[in-house]
Each structure stands twice: as C-alpha cells, then as structure tokens.
Structure 1
Amino acid sequence: MPVPVSALVDAVVIIAALVVLTRLAGLRSFSKMSGFDFAITVAMGSVLASVVVSPDTGILAGLSALTALFLVQAVVARARVASSRTQEVLDNAPLLIMDGPTMLEGNMQAAKISRADLLGKLREANVTQLSQVQAVVFEATGDVSVLHRGDGEIDAVLLEDVVREA
C-alpha cells in the first residue's frame, strides 16, 4: 500500500519542527533527569506518531502540541531550579537500596525492585563481589547507581538527598 504524499510531508515537517524546538530549548529537552522529563518525552513521541500516522490529527495541531510541550517543560525546568518545593512535588527522592554489601529489603520493596533486578544492575556495574559495593541508589529517574568501594568513604554530598529508609 503506497504511503500518501501528505503523510510524508507531515512527517518531514513535524520532525524538522522537533529538531528546531529541541535546538531552541536546549539539551534537557530529551533528558530523563526526572519522571516529568520522561513523561514529556513520551508525550512528544506520541504527538509525532499521531501526526505521521493519523491524517485526522493535522500538522498544525501537531506543531501546536509540540510547542506547548516544549514550553511546559521549559517552565517546569525553571521552576524546579528556582524552587526546591517544586522539585519535591515533581520528583521522587532517590532511595538507598544497598548500604555496603547489605541489601535493604524494605527499601527494595518500596522501590519495587527485586533481588534479581538488583543483582543484574550490580553485574552491569562490574561488581564481582558484594564487598566491592559501598552503596546502591535507586535514582528518581528509575536508574540504579552503584557506588564502588574506593580508597575512602563516599563524599556526604553525593548521598545528602538520598532516603535511607522508606
């Protein structure tokens, strides 16, 4: 089945608009630094797909929706930087799921991360012995950070916003 020319034109226009808006908005446009950022990125993808596959959506509606999403993201990003309260409302706090070699079962349950999930993340981080682990943090983005034992203790600033007990 041939692709209608209008769908190709819409795809080119909406993708070009996405590139231009991304350049204007800056590097954070497609970051996954917070749950809010992730939701906006998914919404942008949905708008892009709607314009390309659904002739009913219309290019102007798609361009308007993309522009609105970029504006909302920019406003919220500024608010997060300016106000710790805004950041607290929008973002989950990072959660300690391993303290040294000890798995914190209660925190793992709160984060809904299984032992198998955690072991997989440890392997990805090249941990070969649990004694190599100084801390594991389930980040607000859903990423898992593994801090290895080094010559000294972890700088306190790296864990200052981490919840120790869920």
Structure 2
Amino acid sequence: MLHDSLPDLIRVLIVSTLAYIGLVLILRKAGKRSLAKLNAFDLVVTVALGSILATTQLSREVSLLEGLLAIALLALLQWTVSRFSIVSTRFRKLVRSEPRLLLENGVFREDAMRAERLTRSEIEASIRSAGIGRIEDVAAVIIESDGSLSVIPERGDELTVLRSVKR
C-alpha cells in the first residue's frame, strides 16, 4: 500500500509546509550566527533542528505548535549560549574549541597536527588553495574553531592575529 489514508497525506503536506516556513522564520530571527560555518555546538543544534522538523512533519504524536515551540527553544538556547560565550571566557572555552597553530614560519607543528588529526598533505592542500607555492612563504596555518584552515602568507610583519591562537 502506498499510503494509509488521504487525510494523513494532506496533514504531512500542510504540516511540512508550515513547519518549514516556521523554521526559516525562526532561523532568520535567530541571526547569521545560526547559519555560519559550524562548530561542534552548532552542528548539534543543526542536527537537532532537522530531527525536530522531520518528527513534526511525519509524526501524528507531535503537533505543529509543539514542533515550532521546540525549534524556537533550540534557537533561543543557541542564542543564549552564544551570548554567554561573548561575556564569559570560561564558558566560551567550555562550548567552543580554540583555534590552533599547525604551521609557523614554514615549520610544521607535529604535536598540534597529531592532536587535531591532520596530515601534512591536508595542510599543504590548504596552502595551495591559498595560492602559495612554497611552504617557506607561509607565516602560519591555523585550524579555526569551525574546522576550516586559515593560511597567512609571510610578509615580514608581526602576526598580531595569532595572540588568541593555541600553540
């Protein structure tokens, strides 16, 4: 059998459409932070949002209002955690990973690479993507909180942006 009943299919169509619109509106109100590159905390929230949306769409046990309330609550929790992260260094360190230096002045930091589970070839790929052909021309490569790699070319200047980077 393709479906249980026509009213169930109509419910899925209506609830899915309204839940999707509600999710978009809530995320829009939550701000760009909810849509930025993901760190571990943001990934958890994203997966939870997807789960809530799917459950709301397909389960007769969960009403549209309950699903939208759960989505709004997660957005509020994410906003609260982000807010506390701004005002409390301790809290920020608890919920977000710190950027880490992987290469400095053309020298690989093997201990940091092992800790972050990255290989030389992955770091070299990020250097090539930055348009740099020689490792010696790189001042620093940093793995950021969201897992992306930042490459800073060597220019002979003091690297003040490395002050907050774990060595």
Corresponding position: 1:28 with 2:33: yes
Structure 2 equivalent of residue 161 of structure 1: 164
Structure 2 segments unaligned to the other structure (5+ residues): none
Residue 111 of structure 2 is aligned to residue 106 of structure 1: yes
Q: Which residue is equivalent to 2:139?
A: 134
Q: TM-score, normalised by structure 2?
A: 0.86
RMSD across aligned positions (CA): 2.0
Deviations 1:38-57 (A, max 9, x none): 32122212222333344444
Q: 1:123 to 1:58 in 2, by over 3 A?
A: farther
Q: Find the partner of 1:83 among 82, 85, 88.
A: 88
Alignment of 1:51-130 (within 5 A): 51-130=56-135
Aligned to 1:38: 43
**2:149 corresponding residue in structure 1:** 144
The alignment of Structure 1 onto Structure 2 pairs a total of residues equal to 162
Using the TM superposition, give the Cα deviation of residue 33 of structure 1 relative to its aligned residue in structure 2, in angstroms.
5.8
Q: CA deviation at 1:78?
A: 1.1
Determine the C-alpha separation between the residues in 1 that align with 2:112 and 2:143.
Answer: 9
- One-letter amino acid of the structure 2 residue matched with residue 11 of structure 1: S
Worse-matched range after superposition: 43-52 or 15-24: 43-52
Q: Secondary structure at the match of 2:157?
A: coil
Identity across matched positions, percent: 30
| Matching residue's letter, 1:83 | S
Q: Is 25-34 or 87-96 further displaced after alignment? A: 25-34
Q: For residue 112 of structure 1, report the CA deviation from its aligned partner.
A: 0.8
- CA distance 1:21–1:102, change in 2 (3 Å): same
1:66 counterpart SS class: helix
TM-score when scaled to structure 1? 0.86
Q: Which moves more between the two structures, 94-103 or 50-59?
A: 50-59
Distance across 2 between alignment mates of 1:71 and 1:103:
41
Q: In structure 2, the residue corresponding to 1:4 is in which secondary structure?
A: helix
Q: Deviations over 1:87-113 (max 9, x none)?
A: 111111111100121111111000011
Higher alpha-carbon deviation: 71-80 or 3-12: 3-12
CA distance in 1, matches of 2:113, 2:49: 31
For 2:122 and 2:70, the matched residues in 1 are separated by 37
Larger Rg: 2
